[in-house]
Structure 1
Amino acid sequence: MKRHESPPTLTHGDKIYFPAAGLCKRDYMTYLAQIGEHLVRHLRHRPVTLVRCPDGVAGRRFYQRHLPPHAPPSLPRREVQGERPLIAIPDVETLLYYGNLGAIEFHAGLHLVQGPQAGCPTALTFDLDPSDPRDFERVRELALCLREVLRGLGLDGVAKTTGASGLQVLVPLEEPLPYAVTRPVVNFVAAYCASRWPDLATTERRVRHRGRRVYVDAPQHGPTRTLIAAYSVRAVEKALVSAPITWAELEYGVSPDAFDLHVVPDRLERVGDWLELAARHPASRVRAIHDALPPPWRQTRVRSV
Protein backbone atom coordinates (compact mmCIF):
# COMPACT_ATOMS: atom_id res chain seq x y z
CA MET A 1 0.00 0.00 0.00
CA LYS A 2 1.35 3.39 -0.95
CA ARG A 3 1.61 5.52 2.19
CA HIS A 4 2.33 9.23 2.63
CA GLU A 5 4.07 10.57 5.72
CA SER A 6 2.19 13.88 5.48
CA PRO A 7 -0.74 14.98 3.34
CA PRO A 8 -0.03 17.43 0.51
CA THR A 9 -3.15 19.52 1.22
CA LEU A 10 -3.47 20.88 4.75
CA THR A 11 -4.56 24.11 6.41
CA HIS A 12 -5.04 24.76 10.14
CA GLY A 13 -3.43 21.42 10.92
CA ASP A 14 -3.35 22.01 14.69
CA LYS A 15 -7.13 22.39 14.96
CA ILE A 16 -8.49 19.75 17.36
CA TYR A 17 -10.82 17.37 15.53
CA PHE A 18 -11.35 14.57 18.05
CA PRO A 19 -11.01 16.11 21.55
CA ALA A 20 -11.50 12.91 23.57
CA ALA A 21 -8.79 11.15 21.55
CA GLY A 22 -6.49 14.19 21.50
CA LEU A 23 -6.32 14.13 17.69
CA CYS A 24 -5.96 17.19 15.48
CA LYS A 25 -6.72 17.82 11.84
CA ARG A 26 -3.15 16.92 10.88
CA ASP A 27 -3.60 13.45 12.42
CA TYR A 28 -6.82 12.97 10.48
CA MET A 29 -5.36 14.14 7.17
CA THR A 30 -2.33 11.88 7.64
CA TYR A 31 -4.72 8.97 8.07
CA LEU A 32 -6.51 9.87 4.82
CA ALA A 33 -3.19 10.05 2.99
CA GLN A 34 -2.18 6.65 4.36
CA ILE A 35 -5.36 4.75 3.47
CA GLY A 36 -6.65 6.98 0.68
CA GLU A 37 -6.31 4.50 -2.18
CA HIS A 38 -8.48 1.99 -0.29
CA LEU A 39 -11.17 4.48 0.68
CA VAL A 40 -11.30 5.87 -2.86
CA ARG A 41 -11.84 2.33 -4.20
CA HIS A 42 -15.18 2.31 -2.37
CA LEU A 43 -16.17 5.83 -3.48
CA ARG A 44 -15.12 5.93 -7.13
CA HIS A 45 -17.97 6.04 -9.70
CA ARG A 46 -20.62 6.15 -6.93
CA PRO A 47 -22.92 8.82 -5.52
CA VAL A 48 -21.11 10.40 -2.57
CA THR A 49 -22.44 12.26 0.47
CA LEU A 50 -20.12 13.91 2.97
CA VAL A 51 -20.57 14.75 6.62
CA ARG A 52 -18.50 17.87 7.13
CA CYS A 53 -17.30 18.96 10.55
CA PRO A 54 -15.09 22.00 9.86
CA ASP A 55 -14.43 22.56 13.57
CA GLY A 56 -14.10 18.90 14.53
CA VAL A 57 -16.63 16.46 15.93
CA ALA A 58 -17.57 18.76 18.82
CA GLY A 59 -18.62 21.56 16.47
CA ARG A 60 -21.30 22.03 13.86
CA ARG A 61 -21.78 19.40 11.18
CA PHE A 62 -23.71 19.21 7.94
CA TYR A 63 -24.31 16.89 5.00
CA GLN A 64 -23.10 17.78 1.53
CA ARG A 65 -23.54 16.04 -1.80
CA HIS A 66 -23.22 18.99 -4.19
CA LEU A 67 -19.95 20.56 -5.27
CA PRO A 68 -18.90 23.43 -2.96
CA PRO A 69 -19.49 26.85 -4.56
CA HIS A 70 -15.80 27.74 -4.12
CA ALA A 71 -14.49 24.52 -5.70
CA PRO A 72 -11.69 25.01 -8.24
CA PRO A 73 -12.72 24.45 -11.89
CA SER A 74 -10.43 21.42 -12.12
CA LEU A 75 -12.10 19.57 -9.23
CA PRO A 76 -13.84 16.37 -10.42
CA ARG A 77 -17.62 16.54 -10.42
CA ARG A 78 -20.65 14.63 -11.60
CA GLU A 79 -22.99 16.53 -13.88
CA VAL A 80 -26.71 15.77 -13.58
CA GLN A 81 -29.25 17.55 -15.74
CA GLY A 82 -31.32 20.04 -13.80
CA GLU A 83 -29.12 19.85 -10.69
CA ARG A 84 -26.04 21.54 -9.35
CA PRO A 85 -22.89 19.47 -9.96
CA LEU A 86 -22.55 16.58 -7.53
CA ILE A 87 -19.46 15.51 -5.61
CA ALA A 88 -17.27 12.89 -7.27
CA ILE A 89 -14.18 11.36 -5.66
CA PRO A 90 -12.15 9.45 -8.27
CA ASP A 91 -8.69 9.81 -6.69
CA VAL A 92 -6.77 10.43 -3.49
CA GLU A 93 -6.04 14.05 -4.37
CA THR A 94 -9.77 14.81 -4.46
CA LEU A 95 -10.30 12.87 -1.24
CA LEU A 96 -7.69 15.02 0.49
CA TYR A 97 -9.28 18.19 -0.87
CA TYR A 98 -12.54 17.33 0.88
CA GLY A 99 -10.74 16.11 3.98
CA ASN A 100 -9.11 19.52 4.24
CA LEU A 101 -12.58 21.08 4.08
CA GLY A 102 -13.53 19.10 7.18
CA ALA A 103 -15.23 16.12 5.54
CA ILE A 104 -14.91 13.37 8.14
CA GLU A 105 -17.55 10.89 6.99
CA PHE A 106 -17.69 9.63 3.39
CA HIS A 107 -20.92 7.84 2.48
CA ALA A 108 -21.26 6.01 -0.84
CA GLY A 109 -24.23 4.89 -2.90
CA LEU A 110 -24.80 1.18 -3.47
CA HIS A 111 -24.65 1.47 -7.25
CA LEU A 112 -22.31 2.80 -9.91
CA VAL A 113 -23.12 5.95 -11.85
CA GLN A 114 -21.14 5.11 -15.00
CA GLY A 115 -21.06 2.29 -17.51
CA PRO A 116 -23.70 0.01 -19.04
CA GLN A 117 -24.92 -1.16 -15.61
CA ALA A 118 -25.17 2.28 -14.05
CA GLY A 119 -27.87 2.51 -11.42
CA CYS A 120 -27.56 -1.16 -10.39
CA PRO A 121 -26.21 -2.13 -6.96
CA THR A 122 -22.96 -4.08 -6.80
CA ALA A 123 -23.86 -5.98 -3.62
CA LEU A 124 -26.74 -7.07 -1.46
CA THR A 125 -26.52 -4.95 1.69
CA PHE A 126 -27.88 -5.56 5.18
CA ASP A 127 -27.66 -2.74 7.71
CA LEU A 128 -27.97 -3.92 11.34
CA ASP A 129 -28.84 -1.14 13.77
CA PRO A 130 -29.14 -1.78 17.54
CA SER A 131 -32.00 -0.21 19.48
CA ASP A 132 -29.53 0.35 22.31
CA PRO A 133 -26.23 1.77 20.96
CA ARG A 134 -24.41 0.13 23.88
CA ASP A 135 -25.66 -3.36 23.00
CA PHE A 136 -23.29 -4.47 20.26
CA GLU A 137 -23.46 -8.06 21.47
CA ARG A 138 -26.97 -8.44 20.03
CA VAL A 139 -25.80 -6.99 16.71
CA ARG A 140 -22.91 -9.43 16.65
CA GLU A 141 -25.24 -12.35 17.37
CA LEU A 142 -27.67 -11.31 14.64
CA ALA A 143 -24.89 -10.90 12.07
CA LEU A 144 -23.84 -14.50 12.67
CA CYS A 145 -27.47 -15.63 12.32
CA LEU A 146 -27.75 -13.65 9.08
CA ARG A 147 -24.68 -15.38 7.73
CA GLU A 148 -26.35 -18.73 8.45
CA VAL A 149 -29.37 -17.65 6.40
CA LEU A 150 -27.21 -16.41 3.52
CA ARG A 151 -25.24 -19.65 3.45
CA GLY A 152 -28.52 -21.55 3.25
CA LEU A 153 -29.24 -19.59 0.08
CA GLY A 154 -25.84 -20.37 -1.41
CA LEU A 155 -24.45 -16.92 -0.59
CA ASP A 156 -21.96 -15.47 1.86
CA GLY A 157 -21.16 -11.99 2.98
CA VAL A 158 -18.53 -9.69 4.40
CA ALA A 159 -19.12 -8.04 7.76
CA LYS A 160 -18.13 -4.41 8.26
CA THR A 161 -18.27 -2.26 11.36
CA THR A 162 -20.00 1.07 10.86
CA GLY A 163 -17.66 3.03 13.11
CA ALA A 164 -20.69 3.57 15.35
CA SER A 165 -22.84 0.95 17.09
CA GLY A 166 -23.99 -1.25 14.21
CA LEU A 167 -22.75 -3.66 11.58
CA GLN A 168 -23.26 -4.03 7.87
CA VAL A 169 -23.15 -7.28 5.94
CA LEU A 170 -22.46 -7.06 2.21
CA VAL A 171 -22.83 -9.83 -0.39
CA PRO A 172 -20.63 -8.71 -3.32
CA LEU A 173 -21.89 -9.57 -6.81
CA GLU A 174 -19.87 -10.55 -9.87
CA GLU A 175 -21.91 -8.06 -11.85
CA PRO A 176 -24.44 -5.42 -10.77
CA LEU A 177 -28.16 -6.26 -10.70
CA PRO A 178 -31.22 -3.96 -10.85
CA TYR A 179 -32.79 -2.91 -7.58
CA ALA A 180 -35.96 -4.61 -8.81
CA VAL A 181 -34.09 -7.89 -8.29
CA THR A 182 -31.95 -7.12 -5.24
CA ARG A 183 -34.45 -5.24 -3.06
CA PRO A 184 -37.01 -8.07 -2.83
CA VAL A 185 -34.24 -10.49 -1.88
CA VAL A 186 -32.93 -8.14 0.83
CA ASN A 187 -36.47 -7.52 2.09
CA PHE A 188 -37.25 -11.23 2.22
CA VAL A 189 -34.05 -12.14 4.07
CA ALA A 190 -34.61 -9.30 6.57
CA ALA A 191 -38.17 -10.42 7.27
CA TYR A 192 -37.09 -14.05 7.53
CA CYS A 193 -34.51 -13.15 10.18
CA ALA A 194 -37.14 -11.20 12.11
CA SER A 195 -39.57 -14.12 12.02
CA ARG A 196 -37.00 -16.80 12.87
CA TRP A 197 -35.38 -14.84 15.73
CA PRO A 198 -38.25 -12.59 16.90
CA ASP A 199 -36.58 -11.66 20.19
CA LEU A 200 -33.39 -10.61 18.42
CA ALA A 201 -34.32 -9.02 15.08
CA THR A 202 -37.01 -6.73 13.72
CA THR A 203 -37.93 -4.85 10.56
CA GLU A 204 -40.12 -2.45 12.55
CA ARG A 205 -39.25 1.07 11.45
CA ARG A 206 -40.81 2.78 14.50
CA VAL A 207 -38.11 2.92 17.17
CA ARG A 208 -40.58 2.83 20.05
CA HIS A 209 -41.88 -0.55 18.87
CA ARG A 210 -38.50 -2.28 18.55
CA GLY A 211 -37.78 -2.90 22.21
CA ARG A 212 -34.23 -4.32 22.52
CA ARG A 213 -34.30 -5.94 19.11
CA VAL A 214 -31.83 -5.13 16.35
CA TYR A 215 -33.34 -3.33 13.37
CA VAL A 216 -32.58 -4.93 10.01
CA ASP A 217 -32.82 -1.79 7.89
CA ALA A 218 -33.95 -3.27 4.57
CA PRO A 219 -35.13 0.12 3.18
CA GLN A 220 -31.50 1.25 3.36
CA HIS A 221 -30.94 -0.92 0.29
CA GLY A 222 -32.28 1.53 -2.26
CA PRO A 223 -31.23 3.85 -5.09
CA THR A 224 -31.34 7.04 -3.01
CA ARG A 225 -29.56 5.58 0.04
CA THR A 226 -25.90 5.52 1.02
CA LEU A 227 -23.79 3.55 3.48
CA ILE A 228 -20.69 4.70 5.30
CA ALA A 229 -17.78 3.74 3.05
CA ALA A 230 -15.21 1.19 4.17
CA TYR A 231 -12.25 2.92 5.88
CA SER A 232 -14.10 6.18 6.43
CA VAL A 233 -13.67 7.66 9.89
CA ARG A 234 -16.91 8.44 11.74
CA ALA A 235 -17.57 11.79 13.37
CA VAL A 236 -17.41 10.33 16.89
CA GLU A 237 -15.17 11.22 19.81
CA LYS A 238 -13.01 8.08 19.55
CA ALA A 239 -12.23 8.55 15.82
CA LEU A 240 -13.56 5.07 15.02
CA VAL A 241 -13.38 3.71 11.48
CA SER A 242 -15.79 1.61 9.41
CA ALA A 243 -13.68 -1.52 8.95
CA PRO A 244 -14.32 -4.82 7.16
CA ILE A 245 -13.73 -7.71 9.55
CA THR A 246 -13.54 -11.48 9.35
CA TRP A 247 -16.27 -13.82 10.55
CA ALA A 248 -13.72 -15.39 12.88
CA GLU A 249 -13.12 -11.99 14.50
CA LEU A 250 -16.87 -11.57 14.92
CA GLU A 251 -17.21 -15.03 16.45
CA TYR A 252 -14.44 -14.22 18.93
CA GLY A 253 -16.31 -11.12 20.09
CA VAL A 254 -14.52 -8.26 18.34
CA SER A 255 -15.67 -4.75 19.29
CA PRO A 256 -16.09 -1.74 16.96
CA ASP A 257 -13.90 0.17 19.42
CA ALA A 258 -10.96 -1.93 18.20
CA PHE A 259 -10.81 -0.01 14.91
CA ASP A 260 -9.73 3.61 15.06
CA LEU A 261 -7.56 5.72 12.81
CA HIS A 262 -4.41 4.58 14.65
CA VAL A 263 -5.06 0.89 14.03
CA VAL A 264 -6.52 0.68 10.53
CA PRO A 265 -3.50 1.69 8.38
CA ASP A 266 -1.34 -1.07 9.89
CA ARG A 267 -4.22 -3.52 9.64
CA LEU A 268 -4.52 -2.80 5.92
CA GLU A 269 -0.78 -3.32 5.51
CA ARG A 270 -1.03 -6.65 7.31
CA VAL A 271 -4.22 -8.27 6.01
CA GLY A 272 -5.35 -6.17 3.04
CA ASP A 273 -8.87 -5.02 2.23
CA TRP A 274 -11.24 -7.87 3.18
CA LEU A 275 -14.03 -6.26 1.20
CA GLU A 276 -11.95 -6.14 -1.97
CA LEU A 277 -10.66 -9.69 -1.47
CA ALA A 278 -14.08 -11.21 -0.74
CA ALA A 279 -15.62 -13.73 -3.12
CA ARG A 280 -18.19 -12.33 -5.52
CA HIS A 281 -21.41 -14.17 -6.21
CA PRO A 282 -22.91 -14.91 -9.63
CA ALA A 283 -25.76 -12.60 -10.51
CA SER A 284 -27.58 -15.70 -11.77
CA ARG A 285 -27.71 -17.05 -8.19
CA VAL A 286 -29.37 -13.91 -6.85
CA ARG A 287 -31.79 -13.85 -9.79
CA ALA A 288 -32.71 -17.47 -9.06
CA ILE A 289 -33.43 -16.58 -5.40
CA HIS A 290 -35.56 -13.65 -6.55
CA ASP A 291 -37.50 -15.77 -9.04
CA ALA A 292 -38.18 -18.40 -6.35
CA LEU A 293 -39.75 -15.88 -3.97
CA PRO A 294 -43.53 -16.05 -3.51
CA PRO A 295 -45.16 -13.42 -5.79
CA PRO A 296 -45.95 -10.93 -2.99
CA TRP A 297 -42.27 -10.79 -2.07
CA ARG A 298 -41.21 -9.81 -5.55
CA GLN A 299 -42.48 -6.33 -4.77
CA THR A 300 -39.94 -3.92 -3.27
CA ARG A 301 -41.99 -2.89 -0.22
CA VAL A 302 -40.58 -4.12 3.09
CA ARG A 303 -42.87 -5.56 5.74
CA SER A 304 -42.55 -4.81 9.46
CA VAL A 305 -42.00 -7.76 11.77
Structure 2
Amino acid sequence: MDLSHPDKLLWPEAGVTKQGLLDHYAAVWPRMERFVVNRPLALLRAPDGIAGKQRFFQKHASPGMHEAIVKMADPEDGEELLYIKDFNGIAALVQIGVVEIHIWGCTIDAIDTPDQIVFDLDPDEGLDMNDVLAATLDVRRRLDELGLPNVVKTSGGKGFHVIVPLKPKADWKTVKTFAHDFAEAMEQSDPDKYTATLSKKARTGRIFIDYLRNARGSTTVAPYSSRAKPNATVSMPVTWPEVENGVGPADFSIGGKPLEKALKTADPWADFNKLRKALRG
Protein backbone atom coordinates (compact mmCIF):
# COMPACT_ATOMS: atom_id res chain seq x y z
CA MET A 1 0.00 0.00 0.00
CA ASP A 2 1.09 3.61 -0.54
CA LEU A 3 1.73 5.78 2.49
CA SER A 4 0.09 9.17 2.76
CA HIS A 5 2.48 11.89 3.97
CA PRO A 6 5.55 9.59 3.78
CA ASP A 7 7.79 12.52 4.78
CA LYS A 8 5.98 13.12 8.08
CA LEU A 9 8.53 13.03 10.90
CA LEU A 10 7.63 10.44 13.51
CA TRP A 11 10.94 10.83 15.38
CA PRO A 12 11.88 14.52 14.96
CA GLU A 13 15.19 14.30 16.84
CA ALA A 14 16.34 11.25 14.88
CA GLY A 15 14.94 12.51 11.58
CA VAL A 16 12.94 9.30 11.00
CA THR A 17 9.85 9.64 8.80
CA LYS A 18 6.90 7.35 8.13
CA GLN A 19 8.71 6.17 5.01
CA GLY A 20 11.85 5.58 7.05
CA LEU A 21 9.86 3.41 9.47
CA LEU A 22 8.34 1.41 6.63
CA ASP A 23 11.80 0.97 5.08
CA HIS A 24 13.03 -0.35 8.45
CA TYR A 25 10.27 -2.96 8.55
CA ALA A 26 10.97 -3.95 4.95
CA ALA A 27 14.61 -4.57 5.89
CA VAL A 28 13.83 -6.66 9.00
CA TRP A 29 10.68 -8.38 7.70
CA PRO A 30 12.35 -11.70 6.76
CA ARG A 31 13.36 -12.08 10.42
CA MET A 32 10.40 -10.33 12.05
CA GLU A 33 7.48 -11.88 10.19
CA ARG A 34 7.03 -15.03 12.25
CA PHE A 35 6.96 -13.06 15.51
CA VAL A 36 4.16 -10.64 14.58
CA VAL A 37 1.90 -12.34 12.02
CA ASN A 38 -1.29 -13.94 13.35
CA ARG A 39 -0.75 -12.78 16.94
CA PRO A 40 -3.06 -10.47 18.90
CA LEU A 41 -1.53 -6.99 18.98
CA ALA A 42 -1.51 -3.86 21.09
CA LEU A 43 -0.42 -0.71 19.28
CA LEU A 44 1.24 2.45 20.53
CA ARG A 45 0.23 5.20 18.13
CA ALA A 46 1.70 8.67 17.72
CA PRO A 47 -0.03 10.08 14.61
CA ASP A 48 1.73 13.43 15.00
CA GLY A 49 5.09 11.89 15.89
CA ILE A 50 6.42 10.87 19.28
CA ALA A 51 6.67 14.51 20.36
CA GLY A 52 3.07 15.26 19.37
CA LYS A 53 0.09 15.62 21.69
CA GLN A 54 -1.62 12.45 20.48
CA ARG A 55 0.01 9.33 21.86
CA PHE A 56 -2.10 6.36 22.93
CA PHE A 57 -2.33 2.58 23.20
CA GLN A 58 -4.90 0.82 21.06
CA LYS A 59 -6.13 -2.77 21.25
CA HIS A 60 -9.35 -2.42 19.27
CA ALA A 61 -10.27 -1.22 15.80
CA SER A 62 -11.08 2.40 15.03
CA PRO A 63 -12.91 3.95 12.07
CA GLY A 64 -10.94 4.06 8.84
CA MET A 65 -8.49 1.30 9.68
CA HIS A 66 -7.15 -0.46 6.59
CA GLU A 67 -8.51 -3.96 5.95
CA ALA A 68 -4.96 -5.33 6.30
CA ILE A 69 -5.39 -4.78 10.06
CA VAL A 70 -7.68 -7.72 10.80
CA LYS A 71 -10.31 -7.95 13.54
CA MET A 72 -11.33 -11.06 15.48
CA ALA A 73 -13.36 -11.80 18.59
CA ASP A 74 -11.63 -13.10 21.68
CA PRO A 75 -13.12 -16.59 22.17
CA GLU A 76 -13.20 -16.04 25.94
CA ASP A 77 -15.20 -12.82 26.20
CA GLY A 78 -15.96 -11.71 22.64
CA GLU A 79 -13.74 -8.64 23.00
CA GLU A 80 -12.30 -7.37 19.73
CA LEU A 81 -8.66 -8.21 18.99
CA LEU A 82 -6.42 -6.97 16.18
CA TYR A 83 -3.81 -8.87 14.17
CA ILE A 84 -2.02 -8.77 10.83
CA LYS A 85 -1.45 -11.47 8.24
CA ASP A 86 1.40 -10.07 6.14
CA PHE A 87 3.62 -7.10 5.32
CA ASN A 88 0.61 -5.13 4.09
CA GLY A 89 -0.53 -5.24 7.70
CA ILE A 90 2.75 -3.68 8.85
CA ALA A 91 2.38 -0.97 6.20
CA ALA A 92 -1.15 -0.28 7.42
CA LEU A 93 0.17 0.10 10.98
CA VAL A 94 2.82 2.55 9.81
CA GLN A 95 0.17 4.48 7.89
CA ILE A 96 -1.79 5.20 11.09
CA GLY A 97 1.30 6.22 13.04
CA VAL A 98 2.01 3.07 15.04
CA VAL A 99 5.42 3.63 16.65
CA GLU A 100 5.50 0.46 18.79
CA ILE A 101 4.05 -2.97 18.02
CA HIS A 102 3.30 -5.12 21.07
CA ILE A 103 2.36 -8.79 20.84
CA TRP A 104 0.54 -11.33 22.98
CA GLY A 105 2.57 -14.40 23.88
CA CYS A 106 0.41 -16.65 21.70
CA THR A 107 -1.01 -17.00 18.20
CA ILE A 108 -4.63 -16.37 17.24
CA ASP A 109 -5.05 -20.11 16.56
CA ALA A 110 -3.92 -21.16 20.04
CA ILE A 111 -4.93 -18.19 22.13
CA ASP A 112 -5.11 -20.05 25.45
CA THR A 113 -1.74 -21.79 25.20
CA PRO A 114 1.17 -19.33 25.19
CA ASP A 115 4.20 -20.15 23.06
CA GLN A 116 6.77 -18.07 24.95
CA ILE A 117 7.73 -16.80 28.39
CA VAL A 118 9.06 -13.25 28.71
CA PHE A 119 11.28 -11.91 31.47
CA ASP A 120 11.62 -8.13 31.16
CA LEU A 121 14.57 -6.83 33.17
CA ASP A 122 13.67 -3.33 34.26
CA PRO A 123 16.44 -1.57 36.23
CA ASP A 124 15.91 1.24 38.70
CA GLU A 125 17.14 4.65 37.58
CA GLY A 126 20.85 5.12 38.05
CA LEU A 127 21.86 1.47 38.09
CA ASP A 128 25.08 0.70 36.26
CA MET A 129 24.77 -0.96 32.85
CA ASN A 130 27.09 -3.72 34.07
CA ASP A 131 24.46 -4.58 36.70
CA VAL A 132 21.82 -4.94 33.98
CA LEU A 133 24.08 -7.11 31.83
CA ALA A 134 25.00 -9.30 34.82
CA ALA A 135 21.34 -9.73 35.73
CA THR A 136 20.45 -10.71 32.18
CA LEU A 137 23.17 -13.35 32.16
CA ASP A 138 21.98 -14.53 35.59
CA VAL A 139 18.49 -15.13 34.17
CA ARG A 140 20.07 -17.14 31.38
CA ARG A 141 22.13 -19.23 33.84
CA ARG A 142 19.07 -20.05 35.93
CA LEU A 143 17.02 -21.01 32.87
CA ASP A 144 19.90 -23.17 31.64
CA GLU A 145 19.93 -24.94 35.01
CA LEU A 146 16.22 -25.69 34.58
CA GLY A 147 16.86 -27.04 31.07
CA LEU A 148 14.78 -24.32 29.44
CA PRO A 149 15.82 -22.80 26.08
CA ASN A 150 16.32 -19.05 26.03
CA VAL A 151 17.11 -16.18 23.70
CA VAL A 152 17.62 -12.48 24.36
CA LYS A 153 16.78 -9.13 22.79
CA THR A 154 17.39 -5.52 23.68
CA SER A 155 14.36 -3.62 24.91
CA GLY A 156 15.27 -0.46 23.05
CA GLY A 157 15.01 1.22 26.44
CA LYS A 158 16.80 0.47 29.72
CA GLY A 159 16.91 -3.32 29.88
CA PHE A 160 16.73 -6.65 28.11
CA HIS A 161 14.03 -9.20 27.41
CA VAL A 162 14.89 -12.87 27.93
CA ILE A 163 12.48 -15.12 26.03
CA VAL A 164 11.81 -18.83 26.56
CA PRO A 165 10.40 -20.40 23.36
CA LEU A 166 7.59 -22.79 24.36
CA LYS A 167 5.62 -25.49 22.70
CA PRO A 168 2.05 -24.22 23.17
CA LYS A 169 0.92 -26.86 25.66
CA ALA A 170 0.58 -25.21 29.10
CA ASP A 171 -2.19 -22.72 29.83
CA TRP A 172 -1.73 -19.09 30.87
CA LYS A 173 -2.09 -19.80 34.59
CA THR A 174 0.68 -22.40 34.51
CA VAL A 175 3.00 -20.15 32.52
CA LYS A 176 2.40 -17.07 34.67
CA THR A 177 2.82 -19.09 37.88
CA PHE A 178 6.15 -20.42 36.65
CA ALA A 179 7.32 -16.93 35.63
CA HIS A 180 6.27 -15.49 39.01
CA ASP A 181 7.99 -18.28 40.96
CA PHE A 182 11.16 -17.85 38.86
CA ALA A 183 11.25 -14.07 39.50
CA GLU A 184 10.54 -14.56 43.20
CA ALA A 185 13.33 -17.12 43.49
CA MET A 186 15.74 -14.59 42.01
CA GLU A 187 14.62 -11.99 44.54
CA GLN A 188 14.95 -14.43 47.45
CA SER A 189 18.44 -15.52 46.41
CA ASP A 190 19.69 -11.95 45.96
CA PRO A 191 17.29 -9.41 47.52
CA ASP A 192 19.80 -6.58 47.25
CA LYS A 193 19.90 -6.94 43.48
CA TYR A 194 16.46 -8.13 42.41
CA THR A 195 12.80 -7.59 43.10
CA ALA A 196 9.72 -9.38 41.81
CA THR A 197 7.47 -6.56 43.06
CA LEU A 198 6.08 -3.97 40.66
CA SER A 199 6.07 -0.97 43.01
CA LYS A 200 8.62 1.81 42.52
CA LYS A 201 9.56 1.62 46.19
CA ALA A 202 10.51 -2.06 45.92
CA ARG A 203 12.65 -1.29 42.87
CA THR A 204 14.94 1.22 44.61
CA GLY A 205 18.50 0.24 43.70
CA ARG A 206 17.30 -3.06 42.23
CA ILE A 207 16.30 -4.68 38.97
CA PHE A 208 12.64 -5.61 38.61
CA ILE A 209 12.30 -9.08 37.10
CA ASP A 210 9.02 -8.34 35.33
CA TYR A 211 7.09 -11.59 34.94
CA LEU A 212 3.75 -9.83 34.38
CA ARG A 213 4.07 -10.02 30.59
CA ASN A 214 3.00 -13.65 30.87
CA ALA A 215 -0.68 -13.17 31.63
CA ARG A 216 -3.49 -13.60 29.12
CA GLY A 217 -3.94 -10.29 27.32
CA SER A 218 -0.60 -8.87 28.47
CA THR A 219 1.86 -7.87 25.79
CA THR A 220 5.53 -7.23 25.20
CA VAL A 221 7.16 -5.19 22.47
CA ALA A 222 7.75 -7.28 19.34
CA PRO A 223 11.22 -8.22 18.10
CA TYR A 224 12.44 -5.57 15.63
CA SER A 225 9.69 -3.12 16.63
CA SER A 226 10.60 0.53 16.85
CA ARG A 227 10.32 2.25 20.24
CA ALA A 228 8.84 5.64 21.04
CA LYS A 229 12.21 6.96 22.21
CA PRO A 230 13.83 10.17 20.90
CA ASN A 231 16.59 8.29 19.05
CA ALA A 232 14.21 5.80 17.35
CA THR A 233 15.61 2.71 19.03
CA VAL A 234 14.59 -0.84 18.12
CA SER A 235 13.97 -3.91 20.27
CA MET A 236 16.65 -6.07 18.68
CA PRO A 237 17.38 -9.80 18.98
CA VAL A 238 21.04 -10.32 19.88
CA THR A 239 23.31 -13.24 20.74
CA TRP A 240 24.36 -14.21 24.25
CA PRO A 241 28.03 -13.50 23.40
CA GLU A 242 26.98 -9.95 22.48
CA VAL A 243 25.45 -9.55 25.95
CA GLU A 244 28.63 -10.95 27.50
CA ASN A 245 30.59 -8.38 25.49
CA GLY A 246 28.50 -5.46 26.75
CA VAL A 247 25.90 -4.68 24.07
CA GLY A 248 23.55 -1.96 25.34
CA PRO A 249 19.73 -2.07 25.50
CA ALA A 250 19.48 1.03 23.30
CA ASP A 251 22.36 0.32 20.91
CA PHE A 252 20.18 -0.34 17.85
CA SER A 253 18.16 2.35 16.12
CA ILE A 254 16.36 2.85 12.82
CA GLY A 255 18.90 3.60 10.10
CA GLY A 256 21.81 3.13 12.50
CA LYS A 257 25.02 1.33 11.60
CA PRO A 258 24.78 -1.33 14.39
CA LEU A 259 21.38 -2.47 13.11
CA GLU A 260 22.52 -2.41 9.50
CA LYS A 261 25.57 -4.49 10.43
CA ALA A 262 23.48 -6.96 12.48
CA LEU A 263 21.21 -7.67 9.52
CA LYS A 264 24.25 -8.72 7.48
CA THR A 265 25.22 -11.37 10.03
CA ALA A 266 23.47 -14.61 10.97
CA ASP A 267 20.03 -14.33 12.50
CA PRO A 268 20.55 -14.81 16.27
CA TRP A 269 17.02 -16.24 16.59
CA ALA A 270 17.18 -18.50 13.52
CA ASP A 271 16.52 -21.59 15.67
CA PHE A 272 13.72 -20.05 17.75
CA ASN A 273 11.08 -22.55 16.64
CA LYS A 274 13.48 -25.50 16.90
CA LEU A 275 14.25 -24.54 20.50
CA ARG A 276 10.65 -24.75 21.67
CA LYS A 277 10.09 -26.95 24.70
CA ALA A 278 6.96 -27.81 26.67
CA LEU A 279 6.66 -26.31 30.14
CA ARG A 280 5.83 -28.93 32.71
CA GLY A 281 3.21 -27.81 35.20
Same fold (TM over 0.5): yes
Larger radius of gyration: 1
- Structure 1: distance between partners of 2:128 and 2:43: 27
Structure 1 contact 133–165 (Cα < 8 Å) conserved: no
5+ long unaligned stretches in structure 1:
1-7, 291-305
Residue in 1 that maps onto 2:19: 26
Letter in 2 for 1:50: L
Residue in 2 that maps onto 1:261: 254
TM superposition shift of 1:244: 1.0
Structure 1 contact 203–215 (Cα < 8 Å) conserved: yes
Secondary structure of 1:70 counterpart: coil
TM superposition shift of 1:135: 4.0
- Structure 1: distance between partners of 2:276 and 2:70: 32
Residue in 1 that maps onto 2:105: 110
The partner residue of 2:118 within 116, 119, 125 is 125
- Structure 1: distance between partners of 2:56 and 2:104: 18
Residue in 1 that maps onto 2:57: 63
Q: TM-score normalized by structure 2?
A: 0.90
Secondary structure of 2:225 counterpart: coil
Indicate the RMSD between aligned Cα atoms, in angstroms. Answer: 2.1
- Structure 1: distance between partners of 2:82 and 2:135: 35
Compared with structure 1, are the counterparts of its residues 136 and 119 closer, same or farther at alpha carbon in structure 2 (3 Å cutoff)?
farther
The partner residue of 1:45 within 17, 38, 43 is 38
Structure 1 contact 143–169 (Cα < 8 Å) conserved: yes
The partner residue of 2:158 within 145, 165, 178 is 165
Of 149-158 and 240-249, the range deviating more from structure 2: 149-158
TM superposition shift of 1:73: 5.1
- Structure 1: distance between partners of 2:185 and 2:79: 41
Compared with structure 1, are the counterparts of its residues 133 and 14 closer, same or farther at alpha carbon in structure 2 (3 Å cutoff)?
farther
Of 198-207 and 226-235, the range deviating more from structure 2: 198-207
Residue in 1 that maps onto 2:135: 142
TM superposition shift of 1:216: 0.8
Q: TM-score normalized by structure 1?
A: 0.83
**Identity percentage over the alignment?**
29
Secondary structure of 1:76 counterpart: strand
Compared with structure 1, are the counterparts of its residues 265 and 40 closer, same or farther at alpha carbon in structure 2 (3 Å cutoff)?
farther
